[in-house]
Amino acid sequence: MSRRSRSREVALQLLYEEDLNPQRSEEVSSRFLSQRLHGDEELIRFARELVEGVQLHANELDQLITKYTENWTITRIAATDRNVLRLGAYELIHTDTPGPVVLNEAVELSKRFGGKQSAGFVNGVLDQILHRKDKDQAC
């Protein structure tokens, strides 16, 4: 697993935890990142940027995800899948990470932490978001 993949995995774990336990303190979150990433400041910074970016843009990301999940509200999506989608959508829309890399990373996370159909679901939704982004940039 690449170093950035490890940061994404830990960011996902933190997003999942905070999704289910929103009262989690910043101190606990910082300690979690430091322990899981063995104090590697570069990886901690990347994971923190992902988590904070998802949190900052949560409403926008949820609306975008819901647009491409037919008949599914954001709260109806399994918590793991919801947070993989948020993380992937954030990277697609708000970072310079290449789309295929984002899709691959999200699919791998969903295979590792989600259910049997998670990878296909995540890939389908994020692929639609990527294609929408590509169309918007072409205009």
Residue ranges covered by each domain of the chain = 3-138
Q: How far is CA 6 from the centre of its chain?
A: 13
Helices 79-94 and 3-20 sit at what angle, rounded to 10 degrees?
A: 130
Q: What is the pLDDT of residue 25?
A: 86
- Give the CATH fold of the 3-138 domain: N-utilizing Substance Protein B Homolog; Chain A (1.10.940)
Q: What is the pLDDT of residue 137?
A: 64
Q: Which of 121, 124, 136, 46 is CA-nearest to residue 91?
A: 46
Q: What is the pLDDT of residue 22?
A: 86
Which pTM was predicted? 0.93
Q: What is the pLDDT of residue 135?
A: 62
Splitting the chain (139 residues) into consecutive groups of 10 residues, what average pLDDT does each group show?
94 96 88 95 98 97 95 94 99 97 98 97 97 67
Phi/psi zone of residue 75: left (φ > 0), alpha (ψ -120 to 50 degrees), beta?
alpha
